[in-house]
Structure 1
Amino acid sequence: MQPTDLRVALFSGNYNYTRDGANQALNLLVRHLLDSGVVVRVYSPTTDRPAFPPAGDLVSVPAIPMPAGRGEYRIGRYLPAAIRADLEAFAPNVVHVSAPDFLNHGAVSWARKHDIPTVASFHTRFETYFRYYRVGFVEPVIKAIMRRFYNRVDRVMPPSPSMGTLLRQWGVTTPVTIWSRGIDHDRFTPARRSLAWRRSLGIADHDIAIGFLGRLVKEKGLDVFADVVKELTRRGVPHKVLVVGKGPAQGWFAEQAPGAIFAGFQSGDDLGRAVASMDVFFNPSITETFGNVTTEAMAAGVPVVAARATGAVDLVEDGVTGFLVEPTDVSGYADAIGRIVADAALKSAMASAGVDRAAGYRWVTANQAVLDTYLELHG
């Protein structure tokens, strides 16, 4: 079978209505598939004002707002008759699911009924989210649902080896193939560092800017970030906090980290400039499956301090490109950041090592692995 023989139905919980790392990866994958001659049809909830234009042919599915104050995301319903009819008319020979929700569960059942190979990509550690909203007691139930979901498909594609190991620990026995991630190396480079932009935000040339990059939601470890900033202040470690991104927890975070500089949402080359203008990238999140922002910071020549958790452990070489710290060890994070702040030679060495380490992450290589997996399932 050739790529031009493939007809892929891709299911997403959020393909383009709110911008995040998962749907950025899915859109880049679809562009690669289309460029390779694959026919693709995407099924996802939509909104009247999407965050960006979708790659490929997008079919809107019925959905409801996510509860618990996260209405910016939507949950697709099972598989209504109209969507089943559209699927049958499209006649896919691969079904790719990307979230363990009702819609994607229905897509797997439909594919199994029609004897169509299924691939599940793993983007988000949903099981960890509930602890940030005081309902952590449901975490075992969510793990069980996810385990059942990934055991019903023909191939699971997590983005990192550590996630593959975690799936095995959960009891997922489906064969695993890694779908890594890439970096736009023209956008994320030390050359985009801008002292003028920093100055416009009130960050002096000699200031150490500790950066956060991502959606401002509590599951990104904002509570730990704020506690570490307080500890750095208590210790007298000179720093400024530079926050790049927006989200529903921005007001809460601003209260917890007074004095933080919020640069807002950045995209394109402006995002590359923002990342390169940081001095330390701090990522205490334990919900990452890969950590695109971590590789982008390394590519931009910024040392990383991250949680010793899935994703980061595959990317950060501890003591070389940055530091890995136990997830809730506030003192340990402060120690690591303090070492980088106090040692210019260490900071420079980590910056150079990060650029070298990130050079191997290329989207064309990562996305070709998915296409090769589709073809292998038909081999």
Structure 2
Amino acid sequence: MDSPLVFQHLAGADRQLRVAVVTETYPPEVNGVAMTTGRLVEGMLRGGHRVQLVRPRQGAADRPASAGGFEEVLSRGLPIPRYNHLRMGLPARGALTRLWSVQRPDVVQVVTEGPLGWSAVSAARKLRLPVVTEFHTNFHSYSDYYGISWLKQPVHAWLRRFHGKGDACLVPTAELAASLTERGVRRVEVVSRGVDIQLFSPGRRSEALRASWGVQPGDLVAVVVGRMAPEKNLGLAVQAFDRLRAVAPHARLLFVGDGPSRAALQAQRPEFLYAGMRGGEDLAAHYASADLFLFPSLTETFGNVVIEALASGLPVVGFDYAAAASYVRDGENGWLAPSGDEAAFLAAAERVAGDAALRAHMAARAPATVVDAGWDGVTRRLLAVLDDVVRAHERRGAGELAA
């Protein structure tokens, strides 16, 4: 039987930090966690740090990459039910323990909370390595959307235990930090998400792309970007669109993304535009070629799409939490409804859609509100937390030796 891990050793010059990053999703997979992790790894490498990336093999032809201070270690994984393009890493505690016994990292950064992530935390603890976890997904909130609300408390307890084993837990907002602290997770640190302001820009707007959608000049296009799944609350976006058509009768609704909810929605509402998965400049053009961003989700830990939309010059209608609470200001670059208040969300969508002058004002101001959210600053913040965790670990070790 094959070993769960395929090792590829890479010797290199000493760096400031040797970071073992363990994640169950990574580019070219398309989702917020994968994109964020990829950007942060790139930033650490640009800063001269060494990164060992541990992730599931994404396909039969997948091979570990190595270059400069970068090394990949591939684990076995299984497709995630209903998301066959994503894989869940299998437990690999013994293999990781052997790997890190020979090639000790300064710190282990565990991105995802699945079996591979749990194995990484366990292996790091056995080897007395400092470990940082990341809280990316409100799994306990998802249960309401999948008819398994009875699992909410057990999942909640499991997440608290998982993140309680680390030296620090990283979250993207102060709001979430306060929530996890109240739940008993110790040392929660805020490391926000970033946006590529060179890629996402109003300059990507394409009249040719709009024409391909059958949109006439001056018609409003509302867009929803992200995974098409029950937890994204897409039904509310549809309600909002139906409501706003009272003031914008020629409006169109565009979905960018894919997922288990797409087929049913497309069968029910074939008049909507379904662009599927997009990436890079193509994704940026889809954002910028729309006129209004609808963000109905209530299960996000952050919501990268919010700041991507703002950078693209789109007013955002969303709920007052996560990224929207941090960046959207009523009447300036969008409109927020109190968290969970669907009637207020519908009213906000209708208000913004029906006032072209207000919408133009918000569109013009939107990019400036995220100009300081570049990835370089986010990476520096992450490295500051990792360095602090390593130093605290060294001080504890020195104290134990002195005793």
User: Taking structure 2 as the reference length, what is the TM-score of the superposition?
Assistant: 0.86
Counterpart of 2:53 in 1: which secondary structure? Answer: strand
Once the two structures are TM-superposed, the CA of residue 336 in structure 1 deviates from its matched residue by 1.0
1:120–1:156 contact (8 Å) kept in structure 2: yes
Specify the alignment match of 2:83 in structure 1. 70
Seen in structure 2, the aligned counterparts of structure 1 residues 9 and 72 have a Cα distance that, compared at 3 Å, is same
1:11–1:42 contact (8 Å) kept in structure 2: yes
Specify the alignment match of 2:71 in structure 1. 57
1:166 to 174, 179, 187: 179
- 1:23-62 to 2 correspondence within 5 Å? 23-48=34-59, 56-62=70-76
Q: Bigger shift: 18-27 or 328-337?
A: 328-337
Seen in structure 2, the aligned counterparts of structure 1 residues 184 and 239 have a Cα distance that, compared at 3 Å, is same
| Aligned: 1:8 with 2:22 | no
Specify the alignment match of 2:365 in structure 1. 353
Larger radius of gyration: 2
Specify the alignment match of 1:196 in structure 2. 208
1:94–1:117 contact (8 Å) kept in structure 2: yes
* Aligned residue type for 2:294: F
Seen in structure 2, the aligned counterparts of structure 1 residues 49 and 227 have a Cα distance that, compared at 3 Å, is farther
Seen in structure 2, the aligned counterparts of structure 1 residues 311 and 49 have a Cα distance that, compared at 3 Å, is farther
Number of aligned residue pairs: 376
2:107–2:386 contact (8 Å) kept in structure 1: yes
Specify the alignment match of 2:347 in structure 1. 335
- 1:244-263 to 2 correspondence within 5 Å? 244-263=256-275
Counterpart of 2:259 in 1: which secondary structure? Answer: coil
Counterpart of 2:195 in 1: which secondary structure? Answer: coil
Q: Bigger shift: 27-36 or 330-339?
A: 330-339
1:63–1:75 contact (8 Å) kept in structure 2: yes
1:307 & 1:52 partners in 2: Cα distance? 41
Specify the alignment match of 2:235 in structure 1. 223
Specify the alignment match of 1:306 in structure 2. 318
2:53–2:73 contact (8 Å) kept in structure 1: yes
1:241–1:261 contact (8 Å) kept in structure 2: yes
1:176 & 1:246 partners in 2: Cα distance? 32
2:247–2:350 contact (8 Å) kept in structure 1: no
| Aligned: 1:90 with 2:103 | yes
Counterpart of 2:85 in 1: which secondary structure? Answer: coil
Seen in structure 2, the aligned counterparts of structure 1 residues 252 and 327 have a Cα distance that, compared at 3 Å, is farther
Once the two structures are TM-superposed, the CA of residue 227 in structure 1 deviates from its matched residue by 2.9
* Aligned residue type for 2:160: R
% identical aligned pairs: 31
1:162–1:314 contact (8 Å) kept in structure 2: no
* Aligned residue type for 2:77: A
1:17–1:52 contact (8 Å) kept in structure 2: no
Seen in structure 2, the aligned counterparts of structure 1 residues 214 and 113 have a Cα distance that, compared at 3 Å, is same
Task: Please list the CA deviations of residues 286-340 of structure 1 after superposition, one character each: whole Å capped at 9, or x if unmatched.
Answer: 1222221111111111100012333321121233221112455443222111111
Q: Bigger shift: 141-150 or 240-249?
A: 240-249
| Aligned: 1:134 with 2:147 | yes
* Aligned residue type for 1:299: A
Once the two structures are TM-superposed, the CA of residue 256 in structure 1 deviates from its matched residue by 4.2
2:192 & 2:200 partners in 1: Cα distance? 18
1:54 & 1:307 partners in 2: Cα distance? 40
1:212–1:282 contact (8 Å) kept in structure 2: yes
Once the two structures are TM-superposed, the CA of residue 235 in structure 1 deviates from its matched residue by 7.4
Once the two structures are TM-superposed, the CA of residue 234 in structure 1 deviates from its matched residue by 6.7
Specify the alignment match of 2:4 in structure 1. none
* Aligned residue type for 1:66: I
CA RMSD, Structure 1 to Structure 2 (Å) = 2.4
* Aligned residue type for 1:28: R
1:309–1:327 contact (8 Å) kept in structure 2: yes
1:20 to 28, 31, 56: 31
Seen in structure 2, the aligned counterparts of structure 1 residues 192 and 5 have a Cα distance that, compared at 3 Å, is closer
Counterpart of 1:357 in 2: which secondary structure? Answer: helix
1:246 & 1:184 partners in 2: Cα distance? 22
Task: Please list the CA deviations of residues 185-238 of structure 1 after superposition, one character each: whole Å capped at 9, or x if unmatched.
Answer: 122111211122101111111211010111222222212222333344577754
Seen in structure 2, the aligned counterparts of structure 1 residues 52 and 165 have a Cα distance that, compared at 3 Å, is farther
The gaps in structure 1 that reach 5 residues or longer are none
The gaps in structure 2 that reach 5 residues or longer are 1-13, 392-403
1:157–1:177 contact (8 Å) kept in structure 2: yes
2:247–2:353 contact (8 Å) kept in structure 1: no
2:298–2:340 contact (8 Å) kept in structure 1: no
1:210–1:239 contact (8 Å) kept in structure 2: yes
Counterpart of 2:38 in 1: which secondary structure? Answer: helix
2:386 & 2:97 partners in 1: Cα distance? 22
Q: Bigger shift: 212-221 or 320-329?
A: 320-329
Specify the alignment match of 1:278 in structure 2. 290
Counterpart of 1:177 in 2: which secondary structure? Answer: strand
Seen in structure 2, the aligned counterparts of structure 1 residues 150 and 312 have a Cα distance that, compared at 3 Å, is same
Task: Please list the CA deviations of residues 271-297 of structure 1 after superposition, one character each: whole Å capped at 9, or x if unmatched.
Answer: 111101111100111122222111111
Specify the alignment match of 1:372 in structure 2. 384
